[in-house]
Structure 1
């Protein structure tokens, strides 16, 4: 009986490993569409439409920035209360591109996570009822002199307020930090598939702004465990999750369909019109 149980366990593990390998090979050998949108900046997209990534259709769009020389600068766009689409934030800020930011109050507006722009606090962290931090309040995107990096909560009470950078956006959870995958719990938020937005850093200094569409037949979306794999396959040694769901939007100036590259899900249609209004974004701006 024990031998039989061990045999079936071995088969199950072998099938799991095989599926993992197939996914990674499918991903890295895909014929990605690439387009230069700014100096040292590419828009890269692919639609896995044969149910061949995580046994589902998936639509992935991302921008890769070399983040040096004359490459665009990173900035944060945010409004204290008013919600706007990612495209609106991008156009108002004369940006090259924009991706939706961190979590916000859908009913009353404003971020529920700490956001600081040009040394001015736009929104403070809203802790949970038991005075604990939410999973998206334990890491930060920081920008200094147009350069973007990620930081991890140090378990102190006023951590974000003591960060020295002039531009800060809390979000999370972290997926990978300094080459090490972070531990994710099995809550529904992490485990279930949804549209996702993420930012990743590669050891060569490149920055990735990524969206995975979801809640559609054409793109199922991913869990955070699957999103971690995607960021790993792209070569990221640090990566962070941002707000997802109907917020997930990647916008590029002068692109068709009002600049929206992906297929936002808030209108439940496979088009470029379903962007949810958000409180903040990460912008790519022409270097001054």
Structure 2
């Protein structure tokens, strides 16, 4: 009986390992569509439409930025209360690309996570009822002189207020940090498939702003465990999850359909019209 159980466990784990290997090969070997949209910047997309990534259809879009020379600069744009679509934020700030930012109060507006822009605090962290931090308040993307980096909560209560960078946005959870996968619990938020948004950093300094569409037959969406794998297979050694779900929007000014590259799910249609209004975004602007 013990031998039979061990054999079945071996077969199960072997099948899982095989499936993961197939998925990684499928993603890496896909004939990604690549388009230059600015200096040192490409828009890269692919629709896995044969239920061939995590046994489902998946639509992945990302902007990849080289971090050298005349590369674009990163900025944060945020509104204390008013909600706007990601394209609106992008156009108002003369950006050429934007991705939705961190979590926010859908009813009352404003981020529920700490956001600072050009040294000014736009929103403070709204802790849980027991004064504990939500999973998306334990990491941050920071921008100084147009350069983006990721940081991890140091377990102090006023961590974000002590960050010295002039531009800070809390979000999360971290998926990968300094080459190590971060531990994720098995809560529904992490485990279930949804549209997702993320930012990743590669060892060569390249940065990607990525969306995975979801809640559609054409794209199932991914769990955070699957999102971690996607970011890892794309070469990221650090990566952070942003607000996802209906907020997931990637905008590039040169793209058709009002610049919306992915298929936002808020209108429950497979088109580019369902962008949700959000409280903040990460922008890419040409270096002056």
* Structure 1: stretches of 5+ with no match in the other structure: none
Matches within 5 A, 1:37-116: 37-116=37-116
How far 1:4 moved relative to its partner?
Answer: 1.1
Tell me the residue number matched to 2:172.
172
Q: Structure 1 CA distance, aligned partners of 2:5 and 2:59? A: 39
Tell me the residue number matched to 1:138.
138
Tell me the residue number matched to 1:181.
181
1:19 aligns with 2:19: yes
Q: Structure 2 CA distance, aligned partners of 1:94 and 1:157? A: 36
Per mean C-alpha deviation after superposition, the further-off stretch among 107-116 and 67-76 is 67-76
SS state at 1:59 partner: strand
Q: Structure 2 CA distance, aligned partners of 1:71 and 1:99? A: 18
Q: TM-score, normalised by structure 1?
A: 0.99
How far 1:172 moved relative to its partner?
Answer: 0.2
Cα pair 2:37 2:254 within 8 Å, conserved: no
Tell me the residue number matched to 1:245.
245
* Structure 2: stretches of 5+ with no match in the other structure: none
Q: Structure 2 CA distance, aligned partners of 1:133 and 1:55? A: 34
How far 1:230 moved relative to its partner?
Answer: 0.3
Q: Structure 2 CA distance, aligned partners of 1:85 and 1:69? A: 31
Q: Structure 2 CA distance, aligned partners of 1:285 and 1:147? A: 12
Tell me the residue number matched to 1:30.
30
State the Cα deviation string for residues 56-76 of structure 1 (Å, max 9, x = none).
000000000012210110000
Corresponding pairs, count:
288
SS state at 1:70 partner: coil
Tell me the residue number matched to 1:285.
285
SS state at 1:26 partner: helix
How far 1:6 moved relative to its partner?
Answer: 1.1
Q: TM-score, normalised by structure 2?
A: 0.99
Q: Structure 1 CA distance, aligned partners of 2:70 and 2:153? A: 31
Q: Structure 2 CA distance, aligned partners of 1:89 and 1:68? A: 25
